[in-house]
Amino acid sequence: MVRFEVLILGNSSATPMYGRHPTSQILNFNEQLLLIDCGEGTQMQLFRYGIRSTRISHIFISHLHGDHYLGLVGLLSSQHLMGRQSDLHLYGPAPLKEILDLQFKHSDTRLRYNLIFHPTNPNERAVILDLPSLKVSTFPLQHRIACTGFRFEEGVRPATLNVEEVERQKVPTAFLKLLKRGVDCVDKKGIVYKAAELTLPGDKPRSYAFCSDTIMSDAYFEAIQDVNLLYHESTFLHDMVDRAKETFHTTSREAAEVAKAVNAKQLLLGHYSARYRDLQPLLDESRAVFPNTTLSEEGKWFAI
Amino acid sequence: MVRFEVLILGNSSATPMYGRHPTSQILNFNEQLLLIDCGEGTQMQLFRYGIRSTRISHIFISHLHGDHYLGLVGLLSSQHLMGRQSDLHLYGPAPLKEILDLQFKHSDTRLRYNLIFHPTNPNERAVILDLPSLKVSTFPLQHRIACTGFRFEEGVRPATLNVEEVERQKVPTAFLKLLKRGVDCVDKKGIVYKAAELTLPGDKPRSYAFCSDTIMSDAYFEAIQDVNLLYHESTFLHDMVDRAKETFHTTSREAAEVAKAVNAKQLLLGHYSARYRDLQPLLDESRAVFPNTTLSEEGKWFAI
């Protein structure tokens, strides 16, 4: 099965404390590395966890609060200094380009590789990357400033052989590959081997959704329906729900309610407020509503 | 004696590796905290070493290469979120203001405290802060883009009592404070006690110079003459002197030659290239020319 995992580089909200870092994640899809958000310190975190930043092909920035993008100029500059040559695709709010250009201008930096910027639309759902193996889409979140979530969805997974039927019909080995691709085969004696009989449909494509930062709102529920793994911000405990609403954030209990409402298989919490040194209460609160909750931990890979 | 020490928060050049961080230092002058440069990750380093960032009163930025200022927006925003109310003075190249304003605009940040920006002049020496106890001046360095060094100089140190003479003349205790301030005193019997006879001049004011980034050039020697502690970048070993010149940096041997030429008491090396995991060769090379050299180490305080 193709690798599809996420590595947490930062799980802190805006004020990083206790050794926690601002938001950043590496998605490994079949050894292709995608970066989701790029808080301050991302390049140091990549080094710490043994990820070569030049392997990253796509970067996705949710919004322009500093804790979600301030590591970007450093990361892009370092890749330039390390001799990166391959293209790098960057997706984010339109003004991000102006911010990068201004900083590159004053540092007299001319990147040696192509940085291809794709502005995201904060108002509507959109497919922003559509490969046969992977589709990435954005959807509006409800934050204090324009903010998008991201959904990463595997392409259709190949059919598998119906081993019992293959044995019963004594299918010649040479035909197996074609049958898996859905092609019917005929041997020299004229016997027909039908793909529909000899294969089983592939597993359901897996998907990952990233929701940070936002208040809980059913406006984005459809966009993240049925995901295998849902990363949802849970900045506060529910006793601070008023503060959460005021600052356009979510509580742990609400994150769990989202996971339940959209039929997610698993929930990953993150974007913890600096007021919580101990995170166990956030986990307990979420599990009471949605048992399959996990705390995102920096340096840890989570399978999708 | 008044405290005058520097804490190294980052000693790496542009590509941070091996757990090293980009340039940043805290200067503690009599419990007043000044920040010199603010590379990416500075706020996390401050937390790690137990420094409350709201205690910082002045920030000095040498130039607009990312490894010297990319931690600034995060640090300023976090202080806002932590409820800072006291004024904060920021000194740096003029375009820094435009860069900060653009980022605050798009993150919809309105700082709750006064951030007072003082543009530096990269072309001429200038006193930028002149308090009775501390004077800070800038001087042009020779880098690829406009860059200034900083010199921090203690005010005149108070005279001390000439204890032997005080005992010989049997000076009334009530007069000692005035004598130290240079005031002659007369007792009821008409005996005169002369400050010039009874005191010794105060110790020479201490000074610290920060030189990063630059090629070695005698253009800035006068500005850092006779400093007690000289922090000088030493990005490369001297076998890479051509590369150093090409990138407007200094080798360890050259940093030592600077220290010797300006009659510094002690030299602190830093801004190490990512090619050196082991820093001992940089130290050895410098000590061969200037024995009182130390490697800057993150998390370590150095007395001035």
What mean pLDDT is predicted for residues A184-196? 94
Give the model's pLDDT for residue B281: 98
Looking at residue A12, what DSSP letter applies? B
Looking at residue A158, what DSSP letter applies? P
* Residues recorded for chain B: 304
Ordered by start, the domain boundaries in chain B are: 4-157+203-303, 160-200
Chain A neighbors of B109, CB-CB under 8 A: 66
Is it the case that residue A132 has pLDDT exceeding 90? no
Mean pLDDT over all residues of chain A?
96
**B95-102 long-range contacts, Cβ below 8 Å, gap at least 24?**
B95/A106, B95/B64, B96/B61, B96/B64, B96/B69, B96/B72, B98/A102, B99/A102, B99/A103, B99/A106, B99/B64, B100/B72, B100/B73, B100/B76, B102/A98, B102/A99, B102/A102
Residue labelled with tokens 């301050």:
A40
What is the per-residue pLDDT across B208-265, written as a single tens digit (0 to 9) for each?
999 999 999 999 999 999 999 999 999 999 999 999 999 999 999 999 999 999 999 9
- B4-157+203-303 has which fold? Metallo-beta-lactamase; Chain A (3.60.15)
Q: Which of A17-26, A56-65, B109-118, B156-165 has the lowest mean pLDDT?
A: B156-165
Nearest chain A CA: its distance from B75 CA (Å): 9
Nearest CA among A256, A278, A260, A251 for reference residue A268: A256
* C-alpha to C-alpha distances, A165 to A171, A202, A237, B258, nearest whole angstrom: 9, 16, 54, 82
* C-alpha to C-alpha distances, A191 to A33, A160, A170, A180, nearest whole angstrom: 46, 22, 11, 18
Q: At a CB cut-off of 8 Å and minimum separation 6, what does A95 contact?
A: A64, B106
- Percent of chain A clearing pLDDT 90 (strictly above): 94
Give the model's pLDDT for residue A1: 79
Assess contact for B195 and B182: CB atoms under 8 A: yes
Nearest CA among B262, B170, B284, B169 for reference residue B207: B262
Give the model's pLDDT for residue A134: 96
Asked whether the beta carbons of residue A47 and residue B17 sit closer than 8 angstroms, the reply is: yes
Per-residue buried b or exposed e for A77-99, using 16+ beta carbons within 10 Å of the residue's own CB:
bbbbeeebeeebbbbbbebbeeb
Asked whether the beta carbons of residue A107 and residue B81 sit closer than 8 angstroms, the reply is: no
* C-alpha to C-alpha distances, A52 to A45, B166, B266, nearest whole angstrom: 11, 69, 38
CB atoms within 10 A of CB B258: 25
Q: What is the ipTM of this complex?
A: 0.90
Give the model's pLDDT for residue B202: 86
Is it the case that residue B68 has pLDDT exceeding 90? yes
Residue labelled with tokens 């030493």:
B234
Give the model's pLDDT for residue B39: 98
Residue in chain A lying closest to B69 (CA): A74
Chain A neighbors of B15, CB-CB under 8 A: 78, 81-82
Give the model's pLDDT for residue B259: 98
Binned at pLDDT 50, 70 and 90, residue B156 comes out as: confident
Binned at pLDDT 50, 70 and 90, residue B5 comes out as: very high
Binned at pLDDT 50, 70 and 90, residue B113 comes out as: very high
Backbone angles phi, psi at B237, to 5 degrees: -80, 160
Give the model's pLDDT for residue B158: 82
Single-letter code of the amino acid located at A69: Y
Q: At a CB cut-off of 8 Å and minimum separation 6, what does A85 contact?
A: A112, A113
Residue labelled with tokens 């166990």:
A280
What is the per-residue pLDDT across A35-89, written as a single tens digit (0 to 9) for each?
999 999 999 999 999 999 999 999 999 999 999 999 999 999 999 999 999 999 9
Assess contact for B62 and B30: CB atoms under 8 A: no
Nearest CA among B201, B191, B235, B229 for reference residue B215: B235
Burial (Cβ within 10 Å: 0-12, 13-18, ≥19) of residue B177 = exposed
Chain B contact residues (CB < 8 Å to A): 14-19, 21-22, 40-41, 43-44, 47-48, 64-67, 70-71, 73-74, 77-78, 81-82, 93, 95, 98-99, 102-103, 106-109, 144-145
Give the model's pLDDT for residue B271: 98
d(CA A10, CA A21): 4
Nearest CA among B19, B22, B271 for reference residue A47: B19
Q: Which two tokens stand for residue A76?
A: 């892009």
Q: Which residues of A are annotated as a binding site?
A: 63, 65, 67-68, 143, 213, 271
Give the model's pLDDT for residue A202: 87
Chain A contact residues (CB < 8 Å to B): 14-19, 21-22, 40-41, 43-44, 47-48, 64-67, 70-71, 73-74, 77-78, 81-82, 93, 95, 98-99, 102-103, 106-109, 144-145
Query: Which of A15, A23, A80, A235 has the most B C-beta neighbours within 10 Å, making it the best mutation to test the interface with B?
Result: A15
Ordered alpha helix ranges (H), chain A: 42-48, 72-81, 95-106, 163-168, 176-180, 195-198, 241-246, 252-261, 280-287
Chain B neighbors of A15, CB-CB under 8 A: 78, 81-82
Name the residue with higher pLDDT: B288 or B1.
B288
Give the model's pLDDT for residue A95: 98
d(CA A250, CA A238): 8
Give the model's pLDDT for residue A158: 82
What is the per-residue pLDDT across A261-287, written as a single tens digit (0 to 9) for each?
999 999 999 999 999 999 999 999 999
* C-alpha to C-alpha distances, A18 to A61, A233, A272, B47, B107, nearest whole angstrom: 24, 18, 11, 8, 24
Mean pLDDT over all residues of chain B?
96
Binned at pLDDT 50, 70 and 90, residue B132 comes out as: confident
What is the per-residue pLDDT across B15-58, written as a single tens digit (0 to 9) for each?
999 999 999 999 999 999 999 999 999 999 999 999 999 999 99
d(CA A27, CA B216): 44
Binned at pLDDT 50, 70 and 90, residue B1 comes out as: confident
Assess contact for A234 and A269: CB atoms under 8 A: yes
* Bond before A213 cis per omega within 30 degrees: yes
